Chains A and B, each alone.
Chain A
Amino acid sequence: KAGVTQTPRYLIKTRGQQVTLSCSPISGHRSVSWYQQTPGQGLQFLFEYFSETQRNKGNFPGRFSGRQFSNSRSEMNVSTLELGDSALYLCASSFSGYEQYFGPGTRLTVT
């Protein structure tokens, strides 16, 4: 089976802009979770989608949003980018909700 894919792999944006990141889960997985990794905070949970519904959300401002499509592909959006949003954004898919399989991540740099 193909693994989790994320696009783009690298992105450079300017403060105030918005960005959309994409994630394609492993075939058959309906749960998609998003995480932010930074040197200071480590891996932090953003939100989780299952069958197009957001079931859980982490402690992030409303500028961070996401959605899931009927084919389980997911996107996350960050509006009004701040310098502190520079991070590695990771998507993970799961069948059971417990064992999560991660994509390679999108490295976002905000200048």
Chain B
Amino acid sequence: DQQVKQNSPSLSVQEGRISILNCDYTNSMFDYFLWYKKYPAEGPTFLISISSIKDKNEDGRFTVFLNKSAKHLSLHIVPSQPGDSAVYFCAASAVGGTSYGKLTFGQGTILTVHP
């Protein structure tokens, strides 16, 4: 039962263009969503997050959009840079109870930005 899905295993983008990474979830109890970037043999690096009370959050080149009715979120990177090439994970968290400290991750999308 995969509650967080990233249906695109990989994405290839030209430097300077927009990268759009997508994520779908099924658990309606999720109320906080995060994006992480990961290089091989390293831990995930936190990029940006969004609470379920918002539909957009922006931080520099990174913007996350949340569509609660569609249970869908996306990460936009503008402009894309070669250094953005990594695996991107979407993660979700539910409030309290049996969800303490638990992030549920998607399978990841490999982003390659070509110079």
Which residues of A come within 8 Å of B, CB atoms?
4, 6, 31-33, 35, 42-43, 45, 48-50, 55-56, 58, 88, 90, 92, 94, 97-105, 107
Whether B102 lies near A103 (C-beta < 8 A) is no
B83 within 8 A of partner (CB): no
Whether A98 lies near B43 (C-beta < 8 A) is no
Inter-chain contact count A-B, CB under 8 Å? 69
Whether A42 lies near B100 (C-beta < 8 A) is no
- Given the interface pairs A56-B99, A90-B44, A102-B44, the reply to whether A42 lies near B49 with Cβ below 8 Å is no
Tally of B interface residues using CB under 8 Å: 24
Q: List 28 A-B contacts (CB under 8 A).
A: A31-B100, A32-B101, A33-B101, A33-B102, A35-B103, A42-B107, A43-B89, A43-B91, A45-B103, A45-B104, A49-B101, A50-B101, A55-B101, A56-B99, A56-B100, A58-B102, A90-B43, A92-B103, A98-B34, A99-B34, A99-B49, A100-B46, A100-B101, A101-B46, A102-B43, A102-B44, A104-B41, A105-B41
